[in-house]
């Protein structure tokens, strides 16, 4: 025996609780002949004898001969039996006893069940108890195994069999595991939930839920007001009614499936239901179909009236054992899933999926722009101007929790932030949160970026035949149009869409072809329909960027799905009641039927010489440089393909490699234009009506 093992044994000798002493004595006295116990050369015998007050030093005197030892053990057993007042000790000095009582209260265990659990944990954590059982030999499985436990626990053998039945509380929850094996010692056939569980139970008094941290965990109730979820009012009302009836009638097999845009949405909705019902939530940890975890959660909720929460993939097949459980669970289970590409809810999931067992399925629609505006008005009205609130509401991942966290942080920092800077700080915090959401999203909606400035766009520097200001005013009153923005890259098509949406006070939804093209037949059509549906719900402006990749001429199509994709777009265009915009650098490649659907075709061309000169002066002023000399005007005018995008590129370059004066700026602009096609006369600028 190692020195560490000896120290542990000696420590346990001094900490022999009444229950463990009683089980040791029953094992030595009632389970057969003690033989030559204690054997002088057997370290385990010596340690056990010392713990029981038997002298094992020197030559064995008459009083230590077998009959005398047995007589002394019987005397100790008689006293221990009379001192035993309950199956579980009342002494608070033992951490194990305190934890057993807490588990008994949490799970509603019978005294006999608590006694068995106490014994199993002690058997695996107290070496003296295991040593005492070994003195009497190795019990076999079957009737002898149950008879041995019957003697040790002073319970009828039939009762012991009931306690260890697979459907009894302790085995069902997994607190006690039975694995009968002929010839094995009792410790190898009877095990606790886990070695960690047993060690924690004897180390110090624990909160009961801490002992189940690998199985179930409590979920904090939702602390957001119900008003922040008014866009889900119908779902909330239906779910609360369903759960109240199920809880009142104890209806077995009650299941609610929650499907949001993300798993987080489903979790927040479940927390809201728990708060409204004033019931705690317990979430399954690890595998969603681990029956031990579900039985544990059901047992806990059965005593404390709660709800069970579990995350599952919709395409995950339900095992036969789990299917039987789903028909009988007395406590409702809230299943939440993510409605992403890998877990879409389809009718062809099969007959063995979770959807076949749920009583109520709820689809959580994301909040529309009006809901997001109400959040910002309610929580940020005193801090943010209306223009900023309008801009932030365009982001589809804005949530009341993001708003609340930012407001809380602002109030914490408020004493150290000047009054005129608070709106800027709050806007910065919200923007940072939303940028994280956008980067973390598998399918971002490309809304108008909250970090994009609301000013700085000047219509003087876009080159179209017609002025765009009257167009904006017309759209402000009509609210409906289908517009094609075409022209070379960098001429300001996408920037104009941002400017238009801000002027109209509408969110901008930008979709690129990569967002709308699917790998499977019919998937592109679904994504196109979803894009129009979301823009319609948000009353937003929908922009499809580089639309020529999506809607090229059908006469060149070689596959049927290329045609059906365009047909779906045409259908959506005809039915869309809002403002639709499409941008393209290859106007001539669009399908003719699509071209006919546009009310306006607005052409963007490179800058005129006077625009280029004025824009150069503006950039030099912003860079802190002097105005350009008039002699440089002809050099700049020769750059016939110059666009606002070229100025933006050069300005970014200036941040890293400062440009000293106007001539170096013009040289840099010339480098940007050098590889562009087209040095001839300018093409006709168009603003054509349908």
Lowest mean per-residue pLDDT among 133-142, 336-345, 367-376: 336-345
pLDDT confidence band for 561 (50 / 70 / 90) = low
Do the first three CATH levels of 216-363 and 459-603 match, i.e. the same topology?
Answer: yes
Do the strands 307-311 and 216-219 form a parallel or antiparallel pair, or are they unpaired?
unpaired
Separation between Cα atoms, residue 652 and residue 197, nearest integer Å: 60
- The tally of CA atoms less than 13 A away on the side-chain side of residue 36 is 5
Please provide the average confidence, as pLDDT, over all residues in the chain.
79
Separation between Cα atoms, residue 414 and residue 423, nearest integer Å: 11
Which pLDDT belongs to residue 315?
58
Q: Give the tens place of pLDDT for each residue, 50-74.
A: 888 876 554 555 445 567 778 888 8
Helix (H) or strand (E) holding 308: strand 307-311
Can you tell me the mean pLDDT for 349-375?
A: 76
Which pLDDT belongs to residue 626?
84
Which pLDDT belongs to residue 558?
46
SS3 677: coil
More confident site: 336 or 142: 336
Choose among 22, 21, 48, 23: nearest CA to 37. Answer: 48
Choose among 308, 311, 307: nearest CA to 294. Answer: 308
What percentage of the chain reaches a pLDDT higher than 70? 82
More confident site: 644 or 347: 644
Q: Give the tens place of pLDDT for each residue, 417-449.
A: 888 788 888 888 888 877 765 544 434 444 444
Can you tell me the mean pLDDT for 177-206?
A: 87
Which pLDDT belongs to residue 555?
52
CA distances from 388 to 46, 68, 154, 445, 603 (A): 81, 92, 75, 20, 31
Choose among 331, 225, 227, 207: nearest CA to 279. Answer: 331
pLDDT confidence band for 344 (50 / 70 / 90) = very low
Which pLDDT belongs to residue 424?
82
pLDDT confidence band for 156 (50 / 70 / 90) = very high
CATH placement of domain 459-603? 3.40.50.300
What percentage of the chain reaches a pLDDT higher than 90? 13
Lowest mean per-residue pLDDT among 24-33, 73-82, 431-440, 595-604: 431-440
Which pLDDT belongs to residue 345?
40
Q: Give the tens place of pLDDT for each residue, 248-286.
A: 888 888 888 888 877 778 888 888 898 898 888 888 886
Domains of the chain, residue spans:
3-206, 216-363, 369-433, 459-603, 609-673
Q: Give the tens place of pLDDT for each residue, 390-419.
A: 777 777 778 888 888 888 888 888 888 888
| Residues 6 or more apart in contact with residue 343 via CB below 8 angstroms | 313, 314, 315, 337
Lowest mean per-residue pLDDT among 4-8, 359-363, 644-648, 658-662: 4-8
Can you tell me the mean pLDDT for 77-97?
A: 69
pLDDT beyond 90 at 113: yes
Which pLDDT belongs to residue 318?
77
pLDDT beyond 50 at 528: yes
Residue 263: CB atoms within 10 Å: 17
Which pLDDT belongs to residue 5?
42
Give the DSSP letter string of 627-651.
PPPGGGHHHHHT-TT--HHHHHHHH
More confident site: 369 or 680: 369
Q: Give the tens place of pLDDT for each residue, 611-633.
A: 999 999 998 888 888 889 888 89
Contact assessment for residue 472 and residue 504, using Cβ atoms and an 8 Å cutoff = yes
Q: Ranked by mean pLDDT, which of 135-139, 388-392, 477-481 comes out on top?
A: 477-481
Q: Give the tens place of pLDDT for each residue, 250-260.
A: 888 888 888 88
Separation between Cα atoms, residue 563 and residue 574, nearest integer Å: 17
Can you tell me the mean pLDDT for 463-480?
A: 88
| Residues 6 or more apart in contact with residue 558 via CB below 8 angstroms | none
Lowest mean per-residue pLDDT among 293-297, 336-340, 499-503: 336-340
Separation between Cα atoms, residue 190 and residue 124, nearest integer Å: 9
Choose among 210, 12, 6, 10: nearest CA to 125. Answer: 12
pLDDT confidence band for 579 (50 / 70 / 90) = very high
Q: Which two tokens stand for residue 659?
A: 């440009």
φ, ψ for residue 72, nearest 5 deg: -65, -40
pLDDT confidence band for 116 (50 / 70 / 90) = very high
Which pLDDT belongs to residue 137?
63
Can you tell me the mean pLDDT for 318-340?
A: 80
Contact assessment for residue 29 and residue 72, using Cβ atoms and an 8 Å cutoff = no
Which pLDDT belongs to residue 452?
44
- CATH 3.40.462 matches 216-363: no
Separation between Cα atoms, residue 481 and residue 573, nearest integer Å: 10
Angle 298-302-308 (CA atoms, 0-180°, nearest 5)?
40
SS3 107: helix
Helix (H) or strand (E) holding 192: strand 190-192
Scan for tokens 């108008």, then name that residue: 448
- The tally of CA atoms less than 13 A away on the side-chain side of residue 684 is 3
Angle 254-260-264 (CA atoms, 0-180°, nearest 5)?
95
User: Which strands sit side by side in the sheet containing 579-584, from one edge to the other?
Assistant: 508-512, 541-545, 579-584, 481-486, 600-603, 687-689
């Amino acid at each position: 025996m190692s020195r560490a093992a000896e120290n542990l044994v000696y420590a346990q000798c001094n900490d022999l609780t009444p229950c463990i002493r009683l089980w040791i004595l029953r094992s030595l006295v009632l389970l057969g002949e003690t033989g030559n116990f204690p054997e002088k050369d057997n370290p385990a015998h010596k340690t056990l004898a010392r713990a029981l007050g038997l002298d094992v030093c020197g030559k064995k005197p008459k009083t230590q001969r077998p009959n005398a030892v047995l007589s002394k053990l019987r005397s100790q057993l008689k006293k221990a039996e009379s001192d035993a007042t309950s199956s579980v000790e009342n002494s608070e000095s033992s951490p194990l006893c305190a934890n057993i009582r807490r588990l008994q209260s949490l799970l509603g265990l019978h005294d006999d069940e608590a006694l068995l659990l106490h014994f199993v944990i002690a058997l695996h954590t107290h070496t003296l108890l295991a040593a005492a059982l070994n003195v009497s030999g190795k019990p076999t499985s079957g009737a002898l195994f149950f008879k041995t436990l019957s003697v040790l626990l002073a319970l009828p053998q039939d009762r012991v069999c009931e306690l260890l039945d697979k459907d009894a509380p302790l085995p069902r929850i997994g607190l006690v595991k039975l694995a009968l094996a002929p010839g094995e010692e009792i410790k190898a056939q009877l095990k606790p939930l886990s070695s960690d569980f047993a060690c924690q139970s004897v180390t110090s008094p624990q909160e009961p839920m801490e002992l189940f941290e690998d199985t179930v965990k409590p979920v904090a109730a939702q602390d957001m007001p119900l008003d922040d979820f008014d866009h889900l009012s119908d779902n909330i009302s239906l779910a609360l009614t369903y759960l109240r009836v199920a809880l009142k009638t104890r209806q077995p097999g009650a299941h609610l499936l929650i499907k949001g845009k993300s798993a987080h949405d489903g979790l927040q909705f479940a927390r809201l239901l728990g708060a409204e019902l004033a019931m705690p939530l317990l979430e399954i940890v690890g595998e969603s179909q681990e029956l031990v975890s579900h039985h544990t959660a059901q047992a806990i909720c059965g005593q404390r009236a709660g709800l069970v929460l579990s995350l599952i993939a919709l395409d995950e097949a339900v095992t036969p054992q789990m299917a039987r459980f789903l028909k009988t669970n007395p406590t409702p289970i809230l299943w939440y899933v993510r409605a992403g590409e890998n877990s879409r809810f389809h009718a062809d999931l099969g007959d063995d999926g979770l959807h076949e067992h749920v009583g109520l399925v709820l689809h959580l629609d994301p909040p529309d722009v009006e809901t997001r505006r109400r959040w910002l008005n309610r929580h940020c009205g005193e801090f943010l101007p209306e223009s900023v609130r309008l801009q932030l509401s365009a982001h589809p991942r804005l949530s009341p929790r993001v708003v609340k966290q930012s407001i809380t942080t602002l109030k914490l920092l408020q004493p150290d932030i000047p009054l005129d800077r608070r709106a800027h700080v709050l806007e910065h915090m919200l923007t940072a949160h939303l940028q994280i959401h956008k980067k973390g999203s598998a399918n971002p909606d490309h809304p108008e970026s909250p970090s994009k400035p609301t000013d700085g766009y000047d219509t003087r520097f876009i080159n179209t035949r017609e002025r765009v200001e009257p167009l904006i005013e017309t759209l402000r009153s009509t609210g409906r149009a289908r517009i094609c923005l075409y022209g070379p890259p960098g001429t300001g098509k996408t920037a104009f869409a941002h400017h238009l949406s801000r002027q109209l006070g509408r969110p901008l939804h930008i979709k690129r072809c990569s967002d709308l093209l699917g790998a499977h037949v019919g998937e592109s059509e679904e994504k196109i329909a979803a894009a129009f549906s979301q823009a319609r719900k948000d009353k937003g402006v929908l922009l499809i960027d580089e639309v020529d990749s999506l809607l090229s001429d059908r006469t060149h199509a070689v596959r049927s799905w290329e045609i059906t994709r365009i047909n779906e777009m045409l259908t959506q265009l005809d039915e869309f009641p809002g403002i639709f915009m499409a941008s393209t650098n290859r106007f001539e490649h669009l399908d003719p039927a699509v071209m006919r659907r546009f009310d306006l075709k607005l052409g963007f061309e490179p800058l005129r010489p006077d625009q280029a000169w004025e824009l150069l002066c503006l950039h030099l002023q912003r860079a802190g440089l002097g105005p350009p000399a008039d002699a440089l005007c002809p050099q700049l005018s020769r750059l016939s393909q110059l666009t606002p995008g070229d100025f933006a590129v050069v300005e970014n370059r200036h941040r890293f490699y400062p440009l000293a004066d106007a001539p170096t700026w013009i040289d840099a602009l010339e480098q940007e234009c050098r590889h562009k096609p087209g040095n001839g006369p300018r093409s006709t600028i168009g603003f054509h009506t349908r």
